[in-house]
Structure 1
Amino acid sequence: MLPPDLITETRIRVRVEVTSKKRLLESLSELLAPAGPKCSPSSVFDLLNERERLGSTGLGEGIALPHARISGIDDAVGAFVQLERGVSFDAPDDQPVDLAFGLLVPEEANEAHLSLLAGLAERFSDAELRNALRRADSSGELLRLLVR
């Protein structure tokens, strides 16, 4: 179960057309930037990109979980992007990513935030959920699938 308010319909995009991992991270950054007063799309992008340099957050099966720690927020904040077509993401299975859940956690992220990441990764390992997320055609439908 996801924490209340982790993700809202306003932070979900459907059938987004991007052509690269960079553009996908930029899309997530724009959705996540309102999370805190000191957040901007460029600062969030820099943090997500910095995390990617440490190793891809692609999970495989077309899923990515870009995440970063950031100061100025008290609670984790998520955003979700469903792509029209997958993009190369350096995932372990070399499959293109077409579903991405972006996550910002407070800079002093603790065990609870690490377990949130693990819980999200576990949820996305469900093939039935992944298929439903790919078929969804509205942000409301995606939200219902993500929070159930």
Structure 2
Amino acid sequence: MTIQDILPATGIKVIAAASSKKRLFHDLGDMAETCFGLDQAMVVDALLDRENLGPTGVGHGVALPHARLPGLAKVCGLFVRIKKPFDFDSVDRQPVDLAFALFAPEQAGVDHLKALALISRTLRDSGVCAKLRANEDPSTIYTILTETMTAQAA
């Protein structure tokens, strides 16, 4: 599994700010509707339900919100860079400015976990995160993420 299998080039957005998790989840819901034809409200509800189980802010300004959704054929993802970091209740209490959302079919099993591990490994790399934070062009961000995944796979 590679980043290209999960993230479409159109699934990247740079936003000025997010006032709350819920606002970010609404943005992700809109993106999921556009990119994958998913119901925006269903996506937001699923992300909020998962977040209620425990925060998905993994530290160092990174969040990995994720949810299982009915009617989805494969694991897919979206990436958002937030110019003004905001409080996400992360494990290290640091504000979040990078969010990679993953959506999986209800019965995804191990594919969901593999995708989560892949994204987590990538965004634990401080060099990758620095490059992502230094860029505002979605196509450049996509290139950074896909080159990172290709290099790690080699």
Contact 2:74–2:108 (Cα < 8 Å) also in 1: no
Q: Which runs of 5+ in 1 are unaligned?
A: none
Contact 2:10–2:35 (Cα < 8 Å) also in 1: no
Aligned to 2:42: 43
Structure 1 residues 128-148: Cα deviation after superposition (integer angstroms, max 9, x where no partner): 000000001200001011112
Q: 1:78 to 1:28 in 2, by over 3 A?
A: same
Q: Which runs of 5+ in 2 are unaligned?
A: 148-154
Contact 1:82–1:134 (Cα < 8 Å) also in 2: yes
Offset of residue 75 of structure 1: 0.9
AA aligned opposite 2:31:
L
Aligned to 1:61: 60
Aligned to 1:81: 80
Contact 2:83–2:97 (Cα < 8 Å) also in 1: yes
AA aligned opposite 2:137:
S
Aligned to 1:93: 92
Task: Tell me the SS of whatever aligns to 1:9.
Answer: coil
TM-score normalized with structure 2 length: 0.89
**CA distance in structure 2 between the aligned counterparts of 1:42 and 1:91, rounded to whole angstroms:** 24
Structure 1 residues 57-109: Cα deviation after superposition (integer angstroms, max 9, x where no partner): 11100000000001111111111110011111111100000000111011101
Q: 1:128 to 1:36 in 2, by over 3 A?
A: closer
Q: How many residues align?
A: 147
- Judging by fraction of residues, say which structure has more helix: 2
